[in-house]
Amino acid sequence: MLALHERMAELWTLRKARELTQAEQDELLLCLEANSNYIWNRIMLENLSLCASQTHDYEWLHDICARIEKMEPKH
């Protein structure tokens, strides 16, 4: 899970208890946009990974897998 997911969940929970401030609303929209970008990039890489695998281009596949791994949060 990325830090943006934690903050998005926090803001969503606050939204249930009270109205968000304008700054919190802006932050929630920013989190949603960042999440959308993250997911689309991840899906693109996963689709490219499938293409590389099906064409037996293992150098390309390793490059894509490395890019996917870089997207993962560091623990």
Report d(CA 8, CA 28) in Å as an integer. Answer: 6
Give the predicted TM-score (pTM) of the model.
0.81
Choose among 60, 38, 37: nearest CA to 49.
60
Within 8 A by CB and 6+ apart from 5, the residues are: 31, 35
pLDDT at 74: 79
Report d(CA 40, CA 75) in Å as an integer. Answer: 23
Question: pLDDT digits over 27-37, tens only?
Answer: 999 999 999 99
